[in-house]
Amino acid sequence: MSDDFEKALIRMQFYCSRSEKCEYDVRQKMFQAKIDINLHDEIIDSLIVDNFINDIRFAKAFVLDKFKFNMWGKIRLRLALQKKGISEEIIEDAISIISKEEYENVIKKLIANKKIKAESNYEYSQKMLRYLYGKGYEPDIVSLFISDSN
């Protein structure tokens, strides 16, 4: 192994050891760090073998963090993971971690905590729907809770 490869590998191992990363994140970091592009695949392969990168573990951690702290809905979670190149199978598995009860409780909490000024029930509903759609919640589920909250 070349000296450049070793230095780059150690740098990427350190990067991956601080928090969960997926292959996409590591490739972006290597481009930013101006690591020789010819070394990228070899570094990625080494990180996968040594379990520094694991897309399944990453997807589950990502879903739990974004759901718990940012209160993202399943649509937004799915899109964010797709953007990072995570496979549909892994995405579905990761999103299935969220229980229906937990998901509905977060929707109720978002509705209860969101202060919306509206002159009519219709205006309130439309503003709340836009807010929850922006968070990534499904229209059919959201509309059930909006109609209950007015």
For the chain, what are the domain ranges?
3-53, 56-95, 100-149
pLDDT class for 1, splitting at 50, 70, 90? low
Over the chain, what is the mean pLDDT?
Answer: 93
Q: Give the SS3 label for residue 73.
A: coil
Question: In this model, does residue 150 exceed pLDDT 70?
Answer: no
User: What token pair was written down for 52?
Assistant: 């520094």
DSSP characters for 38-64? Answer: GGHHHHHHHHHHTTS--HHHHHHHHHH
Nearest 5°: CA angle at 70, between 68 and 74? 75
- Overall CATH class of domain 3-53: mainly alpha
Q: Give the SS3 label for residue 80.
A: helix
What is the mean pLDDT of the segment spanning 91-96? 97
Question: In this model, does residue 65 exceed pLDDT 90?
Answer: yes
Question: In this model, does residue 148 exceed pLDDT 80?
Answer: no
23-35 tens-digit pLDDT:
999 999 999 999 9
Contact between 52 and 116 under an 8 Å Cβ cutoff? The reply is: no
